[in-house]
Structure formats: structure tokens, C-alpha cells
């Protein structure tokens, strides 16, 4: 991997960068659509490209269970298996340590999960996580970590961080694929001294990039912003910064100003499948009765396939009758919105006006669709 900073904003920490990876180049800041099980739900790889996706994310834990790493390896790696020839990032399974808390047991060696599908036991260690990710063949892979919940007591967060650092060293030692780039993950809950310690220790281990983990796990928004900005400020400027698992469009616009380069979140696809779409004036719940006879597009300023061809009334009808096309159109629109927003952000940074761009976007977005129509 090679990373170069192309432009920096005059009034914020926002920057435009370029990642050169084995499967192509990625301009940052970027948003990575989430393809947990080797697919971005309801969307084909060709559609992802047409929407402007540069890189996608898949999940080590879930793919390790089904279909299993050996099947993916025999297919020639995850790129060939899922018919995606662009850059890819795989997470380590660390988020499942948080999200599947009722089904796992943590030890110094790793985590034992009770399979959420069949109930059988699976042991995921730092070494195993790297082995699976190397078998999947992603361009960027992540160190295995514990993502502590919010709230966490200071002592718990401290012990959790020590375990994550121990696992990070094992991941670094186990990483042998020179074609792949390994990122470390900063933890420490909401405690700034622990975040500082995490960054210092990860830099000593040596990683090509850094994820900011342990946020968007239930903490108040203002606290999330505070910790994200502080952590980003600690990370080396010459390496990419990836804020993991957050968030809504307004979250991302604010966090780009902190100097974050990479984002992922299930929000655009999950909301789209459930009848909520994003516009310049906030979130629209297209299932609502107010749209039953509304023959305007979802967003009159949008150029996506859904907005060019279908009305709010029709898409509402699709959702209310359980038609799969409704989920596809909602997802297409939301991904187009996110990916276009990132492109506009990169342009604003390059032209030295990101602060003004962000302020205007946030003012419009907070209006709310329903309240303004």
C-alpha cells in the first residue's frame, strides 16, 4: 500500500489522499459500503461501481463461518468469489466481540463464540483472524481487537486495552502476506489517556494505517465526536485513518473535518432496506402515509436511478406490499447519496472551502424533510 496526501483544507484538519492498493486506487476521504457476507445486500458489484464505490468491506467472522475460508480460497479468494475486482477491506471479527456479547467468552488467547446460527463453538484468536483474512485476500486487513461496550468502567477499559495491544502484537507477527496491508486499531473507550497509550503502543508495533475503534457503541454523539477528534489528532499524519462503524451523513461530514480518511457503516444499506432514505434535508421515511400520493422523486436534487425513474408514491407502494424492488431502490439511492457526498467533500477540501461546505450541508440536513414540506 502507498498513501499520499494530495490536498489539505485551510481551516480544518480535512485532507484528500490517495491509497494505492493491489486492486486499484482509492481517493480519500472515502465511504466503504458494507458487504458483511461477501455481498452488499440487494446490490450487484456492477451497480456498486456505477454508484461510485471504490472499496468495499467484508466480515471475517461471518465469512469464516459461512461458507468457510477453504471454499473461498478454492474459488481464488473473496474478490473472485463475490465478483468484485476493486479494493477490499476485511474487518477482524473484533466488532463481533461487542455485538455478540451474549454468545462469547474472552480469554487471553482469543474469543470463543457460540455460533449464532447453529450453536457450535468457534475459537477466534489473533493468529486465526489473520489466517482467515489472508485467505480471503483483501487489500487491507485489520488487527483483532476487543471493542468494549459503552459505558465501561475505567479498569475494564484499561484491561481491555492491554488485551487488544497484546493481540495487536500477535497479529503483526502472524501477518506474512506482503500484498496485504495490516491496520492496527486504537481502543481505550472514552478515556483520553487510554487512547493516547493505545496510539503510542501501536506506533511502536508498527502498522501501515490505523482504525479508530470502540465508538458508535452507545455513547452520546457529542462524546463520540470529542473522542474521535482527539484520537485522530494523535495519529501520524502520513498514514491513513479509518473511523470504524460510524455513521449518518451528518456524522461523517463532521468527522472528515477531524482528518479522518476512511468510513464504513451499515446505515445507508440497512435504512434503505427498511424504507428510510437520505436527502439534503435529512432523513425521509418513505413508508409514511404522507407520501402515498406524492409523485415527486425521493430527492429532487438527486441523479440516482431511483430518483430519475420512480416516485415517492411508487416506492412507498413497493415497501407496503413487500416488494424486493423497494429495498433495492432505497439502498441504491442511499449509497448514491453517500458516495456522491464523499466526492463533493473531496472537491471542497481540494478547493480549500471544506469548512463552508460542511456548515451549509449540516444546516440543510438538520431542516428535516417532513418539517420542511
pLDDT digits (tens, 9 = 90+) for 219-229: 999 999 999 99
Same domain, residue pair 226 and 286 = no
Long-range contacts of 106-115 (CB under 8 A, 24+ apart): 106/146, 106/163, 108/163, 108/166, 110/144, 110/167, 111/146, 113/61, 115/65
Q: How confident is the model at residue 368 (pLDDT cuts 50, 70, 90)?
A: confident
pLDDT at 58: 98
pLDDT at 367: 87
Same domain, residue pair 251 and 286 = no
pLDDT at 118: 82
262-318: pLDDT as tens digits: 999 999 999 999 999 999 999 999 999 999 999 999 999 999 999 999 999 999 999
Same domain, residue pair 238 and 334 = no
**Beta strands 56-59; 30-32: pairing state:** unpaired
Q: Residue 368 falls within a domain, yes or no?
A: no
**Mean pLDDT calculated for residue range 29-54:** 98
Whether the pLDDT of residue 244 is over 60: the answer is yes
For the chain, what is the mean pLDDT?
A: 96
CB contact at 8 A, 129 and 144: yes
CATH of residue 133's domain is: 3.20.20.105
pLDDT at 373: 62
The CA R_g of the chain, rounded to the nearest whole Å, is: 20
Where in the sequence numbering do the catalytic residues fall? 91, 264
**Mean pLDDT calculated for residue range 43-56:** 98
Among the three residues 265, 285, 302, which one is the final residue of a domain in this structure?
265
Same domain, residue pair 287 and 223 = no
| C-alpha cell belonging to residue 85 | 475486482
pLDDT at 372: 56
CA distance 101 to 150: 13
Same domain, residue pair 282 and 174 = no
| C-alpha cell belonging to residue 170 | 500477535
**Secondary structure string (H, E, C) spanning 11-76:** CCCCEEEEEEECCEEEEECEEECECCCCCCCCCCHHHHHHHCCCCEEEEHHHHHHCCCHHHHHHCC
Residue 348 sits in which domain range? Answer: 276-363
pLDDT at 371: 59
CA distance 297 to 312: 6
| C-alpha cell belonging to residue 222 | 457529542
Same domain, residue pair 287 and 141 = no
pLDDT at 38: 97
CA distance 169 to 206: 9
pLDDT at 3: 98
Same domain, residue pair 42 and 112 = yes
**Beta strands 56-59; 88-91: pairing state:** parallel
Q: Is the dihedral of CA 326, 328, 334, 337 positive or negative?
A: negative
Whether the pLDDT of residue 370 is over 70: the answer is no
**Beta strands 276-279; 56-59: pairing state:** unpaired
Q: Residue 371 falls within a domain, yes or no?
A: no
Residue 189: closest CA among 163, 227, 220, 162 = 227
pLDDT at 40: 98
88-127: pLDDT as tens digits: 999 999 999 889 998 999 999 999 999 877 888 989 999 9
Amino acid at each position: 500500500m502507498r498513501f499520499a496526501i494530495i490536498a489539505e483544507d485551510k481551516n480544518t484538519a480535512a485532507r484528500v489522499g490517495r491509497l494505492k492498493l493491489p486492486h486499484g486506487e482509492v481517493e480519500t476521504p472515502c465511504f466503504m459500503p458494507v458487504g458483511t457476507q461477501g455481498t452488499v445486500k440487494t446490490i450487484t458489484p456492477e451497480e456498486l461501481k456505477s454508484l461510485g464505490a471504490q472499496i468495499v468491506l467484508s466480515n471475517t467472522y461471518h465469512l469464516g463461518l459461512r461458507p468457510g475460508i477453504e471454499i473461498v480460497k478454492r474459488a481464488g479468494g473473496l474478490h473472485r468469489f463475490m465478483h468484485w475486482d476493486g479494493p477490499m477491506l476485511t474487518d477482524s471479527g473484533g466488532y463481533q466481540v461487542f455485538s455478540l456479547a451474549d454468545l462469547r467468552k474472552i480469554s487471553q488467547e482469543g474469543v470463543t463464540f457460540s455460533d449464532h446460527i447453529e450453536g457450535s463453538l468457534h475459537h477466534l484468536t489473533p493468529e486465526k483472524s489473520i489466517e482467515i483474512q489472508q485467505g480471503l485476500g483483501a487489500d487491507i486487513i485489520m488487527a483483532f481487537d476487543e471493542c468494549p461496550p459503552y459505558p465501561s468502567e475505567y479498569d475494564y477499559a484499561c484491561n481491555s486495552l492491554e488485551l487488544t495491544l497484546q493481540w495487536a502484537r500477535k497479529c503483526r507477527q502472524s501477518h506474512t502476506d506482503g500484498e496485504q496491508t495490516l491496520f492496527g486499531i486504537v481502543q481505550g473507550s472514552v478515556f483520553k489517556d487510554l487512547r493516547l497509550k493505545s496510539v503510542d503502543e501501536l506506533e511502536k508495533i508498527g502498522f501501515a494505517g490505523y482504525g479508530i475503534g470502540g465508538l458508535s457503541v452507545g455513547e452520546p454523539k457529542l462524546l463520540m465526536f470529542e473522542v474521535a477528534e482527539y484520537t485522530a489528532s494523535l495519529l501520524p499524519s502520513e498514514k491513513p485513518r479509518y473511523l470504524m462503524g460510524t455513521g449518518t451523513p451528518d456524522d461523517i461530514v463532521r468527522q472528515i473535518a477531524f482528518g479522518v480518511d476512511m468510513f464504513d457503516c451499515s446505515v445507508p444499506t440497512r435504512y434503505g432496506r427498511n424504507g428510510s432514505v437520505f436527502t439534503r434535508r435529512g432523513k425521509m421515511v418513505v413508508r409514511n402515509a404522507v407520501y402515498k400520493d406524492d409523485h415527486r422523486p425521493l430527492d429532487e436534487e438527486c441523479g440516482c436511478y431511483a430518483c430519475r425513474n420512480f416516485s415517492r408514491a411508487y416506492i412507498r407502494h413497493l415497501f407496503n406490499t413487500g416488494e424486493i424492488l423497494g429495498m433495492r431502490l432505497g439502498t441504491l439511492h442511499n449509497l448514491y447519496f453517500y458516495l456522491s457526498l464523499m466526492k463533493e467533500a473531496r472537491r471542497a477540501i481540494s478547493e480549500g472551502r471544506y469548512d463552508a461546505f460542511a456548515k451549509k450541508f449540516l444546516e440543510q440536513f438538520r431542516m428535516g424533510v417532513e418539517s420542511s414540506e
